[in-house]
Amino acid sequence: MDGRESVVIVGGGMGGMAAALALGRAGHPVTVLERDPLAARADAEEAFLAPRRGAPQVHQTHGFLARLQVVLGQRFPDVLAELLSRGAMRLPTTADLGEPQPGDEDLEVVITRRTTLDWVLRSAVLEEASVEIRTDTAVAGLVAGAGQAPAPVIRGVRLGDGTEVEADVVVAASGRRDAVPAWLAAVGVEVPEEVHESGLMYLSRWYRLPEGFDIAQLDAKLGGDLGFVKYLGVPGDAGTLSITLAIRPEDRELRQVLSDPDGFEEGCRRLPGPDQFFRYPLRPVGEVRPMAGLVNRARRYLDDQGRPTVLGFHAVGDAHTCTNPLYGRGCALALVEAVELADAMAAHPGDPAGRATAYEAACARQVAPWYELSVQMDKLGADPAGLSAGPADPNNPMTTILSAAAADPVLGRGFAKLWNLIATPAELAADPVYTARVAAVLAEPDRYPPPVRVGPTRTEFLDALQAIHA
């Protein structure tokens, strides 16, 4: 065995393309099967305008955490360079934290359209001689081998027309709405799932900024959290802007008014952050796009003894773990999983059980903490982007710490590492400089009052929007 194993990847979104790049560059022959009819060599604009039924979230607002550019820089520097040359921008998250410090460059987020990121990744994959991408090709199920010990072994996939595609390894990168548990149940494998509702739905709209628009003229605060609505306006590459208003799905009144293009625009004008864009002549692109079903979900591919429940099969991206999109973690985690899978395959050639164990152990270290944090943050109602007016309760120690972190070089960088998936909560809690600063801040809570909430109440907001068509 020369270490090369044939791989079929189901899904050509973020996780699938990242896995194809990592495994293809490691020398494995890879076939990507993608259900959507993606144009092979479209440019960024075509990629933006193309429908994506299989991954509708690509047309929702995306921001990319620092971990994504750090991993791209380490593993695929050519892809990062290409992304930046195509108009993606790196934005510092430490600008308000005093003198620049070493490591600040690893805390820069990336802003670009999600479709541009996917397109740049896909273009890089297309350059790999060992990778074939077959679009317009839906997978309908898995093909298992005859033996069942120590766990069922997957030998390939079955397409919608009944054709089988054989592979040594099947990677499900089939996204948050996929059928992986049903596929595995059909071959006798149970995949326990833990699901936590985020309690949010997105309403997003794209705009074109006026020619020559200078992003530097904007107030850095692009979003916020008024309780009844969380919101974010993110400029993208090529003079684009996307704005998302995230509301509770059961809030039918707000949903109705904000789904109307005029209501959406008026809503944006009334929210501190998005309002600043509407001082300029914006050109809308398309309608207001809703997206619901935004859950946190973790699937388990090991049994209670930590043994793999299936061999020759791995899940990356949302097929493995989904987090509330508001935290912007999904693409970075999918990329992390893709490179961890390639590393597990390199470390355990021809050993399906060894690499499944190694891969799941890597996910437990590098992915599970962010899933757990997402679930906890949803419960606390904290604002992930650090953009909110802060939790209302001034007696809550977290309120004090968050207020101090806005300008404190130690706490601010600690939170920047946490939000950007650079340091886990446990790593932060083990940092003596950080914990000493937390103790010092908590000793003087009155110095760090919570910022005042700015913006309309729900009633004021709703009345104003309902008045438009009255």
Ligand X SMILES: Cc1cc2nc3c(=O)[nH]c(=O)nc-3n(C[C@H](O)[C@H](O)[C@H](O)COP(=O)(O)OP(=O)(O)OC[C@H]3O[C@@H](n4cnc5c(N)ncnc54)[C@H](O)[C@@H]3O)c2cc1C
Binding mask 353-382 toward ligand X (x if CB under 6 A, else -) reads ------------------------------
Instruction: List residues bridging with 165 in a β-sheet.
Output: 157
Judged by CB under 6 A, which of 22, 171, 258, 332 binds ligand X?
332
Of the ranges 59-67, 82-90, 97-105, 345-353, which one interacts with ligand X (CB under 6 A)? 59-67
Q: Is 36 in the site for ligand X (CB under 6 A)?
A: yes
Q: 165 vs 404, which CB is nearer to ligand X?
A: 165
Judged by CB under 6 A, which of 34, 168, 225, 360 binds ligand X?
34
Contacts with ligand X in 267-306 (CB under 6 A)? Answer: 291, 294
CB atoms within 10 A of CB 129: 7
Of the ranges 54-62, 77-85, 353-361, 431-439, which one interacts with ligand X (CB under 6 A)? 54-62
DSSP-based helix, strand, coil % in the chain, nearest 5: 40, 20, 40
CB atoms within 10 A of CB 31: 20
Is the CB of residue 5 less than 8 Å from the CB of residue 350? yes
Shortest reach from residue 85's CB to ligand X, in Å: 21
In angstroms, the Cα distances linking 328 to 110, 119, 402, 446 are: 11, 19, 19, 32
Q: 205 vs 329, which CB is nearer to ligand X?
A: 329
Q: 33 vs 133, which CB is nearer to ligand X?
A: 33
Size of the site for ligand X (CB under 6 A): 37
Shortest reach from residue 317's CB to ligand X, in Å: 2
Q: Is 138 in the site for ligand X (CB under 6 A)?
A: yes
Judged by CB under 6 A, which of 24, 152, 156, 175 binds ligand X?
175
Cα separation, 45 vs 206, whole angstroms: 13
Is the CB of residue 169 less than 8 Å from the CB of residue 256? no
Of the ranges 84-92, 170-178, 376-384, 427-435, which one interacts with ligand X (CB under 6 A)? 170-178
Pull the structure tokens for residue 197: 């509702």
Q: Is 236 in the site for ligand X (CB under 6 A)?
A: no
Q: Is 384 in the site for ligand X (CB under 6 A)?
A: no
Q: Is 334 in the site for ligand X (CB under 6 A)?
A: yes
Q: Is 143 in the site for ligand X (CB under 6 A)?
A: no
Do the bridges between strand 193-197 and strand 295-299 make them parallel or antiparallel, or are there none, so unpaired?
Answer: antiparallel
Is the CB of residue 220 less than 8 Å from the CB of residue 197? no
Question: Degrees (nearest 5) of the Cα angle 309, 315, 318?
Answer: 130
Q: For the chain, what is the radius of gyration of the CA atoms?
A: 23
Q: Is 12 in the site for ligand X (CB under 6 A)?
A: yes
Q: Is 153 in the site for ligand X (CB under 6 A)?
A: no
Shortest reach from residue 319's CB to ligand X, in Å: 6
Q: 39 vs 468, which CB is nearer to ligand X?
A: 39
Is the CB of residue 169 less than 8 Å from the CB of residue 180? no
87 CB-contact burial (10 Å; exposed 0-12 / middle 13-18 / buried 19+): middle
Cα diameter, the chain: 73
Pull the structure tokens for residue 305: 């003894």
Cα separation, 153 vs 134, whole angstroms: 24
Is the CB of residue 334 less than 8 Å from the CB of residue 14? yes
Judged by CB under 6 A, which of 5, 7, 8, 16 binds ligand X?
16
Binding mask 202-221 toward ligand X (x if CB under 6 A, else -) reads x-------------------
Question: Among candidates 179, 158, 177, 178, which has minimal Cα distance to 167?
Answer: 158
Shortest reach from residue 68's CB to ligand X, in Å: 7
Judged by CB under 6 A, which of 156, 263, 273, 330 binds ligand X?
330
What lies within 8 Å, CB to CB, of 67 at 6+ separation is: 332, 335, 336, 420, 421, 422
Judged by CB under 6 A, which of 64, 119, 264, 419 binds ligand X?
64
Of the ranges 206-214, 217-225, 271-279, 331-339, which one interacts with ligand X (CB under 6 A)? 331-339
Contacts with ligand X in 390-409 (CB under 6 A)? Answer: none
Shortest reach from residue 106's CB to ligand X, in Å: 17
Judged by CB under 6 A, which of 14, 26, 169, 342 binds ligand X?
14
Where do the H-state alpha helices sit in 5-133?
Answer: 14-25, 44-49, 66-75, 77-85, 114-126
H/E stretch holding 5: none
Judged by CB under 6 A, which of 156, 223, 328, 384 binds ligand X?
328
Judged by CB under 6 A, which of 31, 57, 112, 116 binds ligand X?
57
Cα separation, 198 vs 200, whole angstroms: 5
* Positions that interact with ligand X (CB under 6 A): 10-16, 33-36, 54-55, 57, 60, 62-64, 138-139, 173-175, 178, 202, 291, 294, 317-319, 325, 328-332, 334
